[in-house]
Structure 1
Amino acid sequence: MTFDQYKQDQVVQMEHYEENGKKNYGFSIYDRPNSNLREDIIRDKDIRESNKSEEEKDQELNELWEGNVRRAFMGKNVDGDVIVQLSDSKGQPRIRMVVDQSDIPRMEFLDGDGKVLYKLPPEE
């Protein structure tokens, strides 16, 4: 179930995904640009069908879809961990709160590359 931004894609989503016995489900919040999705899809098709190099196409597609990122997730991941994850404007996870399948809680602060900068409880 999703809720869409006017003339754009989903900004709030309740999701469930299951494959080979692995489940991922929860609630996500997305950032979307203020552009018209229908026009963006047409532009995407035009870029993909152009005679430009693959590198140029990739760059233009990245620019077109920049800002379409998941900013928050609350749910259960495929490892069985219950998680709240907050991401930056590029969609990179920056804060993770987890209660793992063994009921052990932790909180992690990450840099833009996903490296843990600080962890609670701290590692010994």
Structure 2
Amino acid sequence: MESKTALAVVKKQKDNGIWGGNLLGLGPVAALGIRDAGTIPQYRRLLQLEWPRGSRPFKLADRVLFRLLSRDEDPALHFEFQKSVKSDPDAEAWARGVIREAASAALAEAGYADDPRLRGAGHKIA
């Protein structure tokens, strides 16, 4: 039986696999324009609630999280760091590192520790 909590999390996910329009937000922060918890906390919450791993919410989110580990230079992948990166180009490497580390941790928790994409990201982080 699916819990009401898990169903509420699933319903908040957008078709692009993102929750709350951000990655790391733990809750609403009006000053930053964050209205809800971000993708990584919601993803991890579904894992903790034992939502089926092969289901659509995980497939959509996995696609985004693995893309964050890639060398994709799309500015949209900076999510809540877009303004910081735009005003300070030196912040881009820092933001990419923070995002990559968070995505790696979530994917490892989901059981992808042996995936070569995740191991490669681990070498970049370390």
Shorter chain as normaliser: what TM range?
under 0.3
- Is the strand fraction higher in 1 or 2? 1
Q: TM-score, normalised by structure 2?
A: 0.25
Higher-helix-fraction structure: 2
Structure number with greater Rg is: 1
TM-score, length of structure 1 as denominator length: 0.25
Q: Which has the higher contact order (CA 8 A, sep 6+)?
A: 2
